[in-house]
């Protein structure tokens, strides 16, 4: 396959990934605000980034302070100050992913890009008998 086709496909996948990351980040910040009743602080600075791989979009990574994941998944144990704590899970990350429909968007758009790449390599000429 031509290198320009690979480069074009990789660039298209990264554009789709970056758009999905922006959408997801906006939703995560929104749901953090719902769960914490706060619109300031380090938790609101959680980031979502599309990471490139060799052949296109590798993954979408969510970066947040440790307590952001503890808030999402819940926590039961002894804190660093020696006090026992039981924190109920909020699932703000799952809510943000689900409500933003980012997985469906990625599946649809990346499938379309991959399909174009496959069709570009298929030889549709018919062979005579």
Domain ranges of the chain: 3-120
Q: DSSP of 6-55, one letter per residue?
A: HHHHHHHHHHHHHHHHHHHHHHHHHHHHHHHS-S-SGGGG-EEEEEE-SS
Each residue's pLDDT tens digit, 81-94:
999 999 898 888 88
Q: What is the pTM of this model?
A: 0.76
* Pair of tokens at residue 48: 């979502």
| DSSP single-letter state for residue 101 | T
Q: What is the pLDDT of residue 5?
A: 62
């Amino acid at each position: 396959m031509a290198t320009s086709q690979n480069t074009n496909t990789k660039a298209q996948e990264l554009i789709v990934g970056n758009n999905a990351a922006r959408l997801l980040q906006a939703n995560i910040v929104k749901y953090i605000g719902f769960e914490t009743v706060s619109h300031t602080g380090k938790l609101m600075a959680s980031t979502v980034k599309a990471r490139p791989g060799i052949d296109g979009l590798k993954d979408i990574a969510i970066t947040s302070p440790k307590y952001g994941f503890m808030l999402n998944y819940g926590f039961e144990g002894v804190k660093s100050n020696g006090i026992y704590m039981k924190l109920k899970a909020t699932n703000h990350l799952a809510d943000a992913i689900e409500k933003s429909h980012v997985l469906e968007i990625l599946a649809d758009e990346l499938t379309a890009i991959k399909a174009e790449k496959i069709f570009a390599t298929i030889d549709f000429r018919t062979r005579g008998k």
